Copies of this chain bind each other. A is one copy, B any other.
Amino acid sequence: MEQTKSTNIILFSGDYDKAMAAFIIANGAAAYDHDVTIFATFWGLNAFRKDEKMTLPKGKMEKMFGRMMPRGAEKMGLSNMNFGGMGPKMIKKVMKKHQAMPLADLMEMAKEQDIKLVACTMTMDLLGLQKEELIDGIEYGGVAAYLAEAEDGNVNLFI
């Protein structure tokens, strides 16, 4: 019997377009019956943030990071031609026209396809992000969790 293939993506970037690429590849791999995991670390964690504002007990620094970082996938900027936020609006308009899925929908599809979403606990600490601020249905882990999957993976990407 053939072994199940696996795709493991580290989502480091907090850019809308890079997160889109990550979730398009992930959803494609899941459709091909891969076991798929997306490990969000550093700015990639912003894709996992809830969009509402929250008051949580935090240090001054952590509060500042929290205020400055985008709350959730649809608030993220582009890696290129961002134009102070105009770029994402343009891209989303073109996406709608071409019936491409926005990032939020790609993430919903990922959950439906049982793609494992893991938030990196070490960088959550650094950026002062707490579990209450992140979307439901995700897991928590560190570099050990990543390596356990990736060392037998077929497609390992850092995005």
Measuring CB to CB, which residues of chain A are less than 8 angstroms from any residue of chain B? 5, 7, 10, 12-14, 17-18, 21, 24-25, 27-29, 32, 34, 41-43, 59, 61-62, 64-65, 68-69, 79-81, 90-91, 93-95, 97-98, 100, 122, 125-128, 142-144, 146-147, 150-159
A sample of 28 cross-chain residue pairs with beta-carbon separation below 8 angstroms, ordered by A number, consists of: A5-B151, A7-B147, A10-B21, A12-B18, A12-B159, A17-B42, A21-B158, A24-B122, A25-B146, A27-B143, A28-B143, A43-B80, A61-B93, A61-B97, A62-B94, A64-B90, A65-B81, A68-B81, A69-B81, A95-B126, A98-B125, A147-B155, A150-B154, A150-B155, A151-B154, A155-B156, A156-B156, A158-B158
Residue with the highest number of chain B CB atoms closer than 10 Å, among A24, A90, A93, A159: A24
How many identical chains are in the complex?
3
Taking A14-B80, A156-B155 as contacts, is the C-beta distance between A126 and B150 under 8 angstroms? no
Are A94 and B151 closer than 8 Å at their CB atoms?
Answer: no
Q: Which residues from B are CB-within-8-Å of A146? A: 25, 28
Q: Which residues from B are CB-within-8-Å of A156? A: 155-157
Pick from B28, B126, B158: contact of A159, CB below 8 A: B158
Question: In the bound complex, how far is the Cα of B38 from the Cα of A9, in angstroms?
Answer: 18
Are A10 and B157 closer than 8 Å at their CB atoms?
Answer: yes
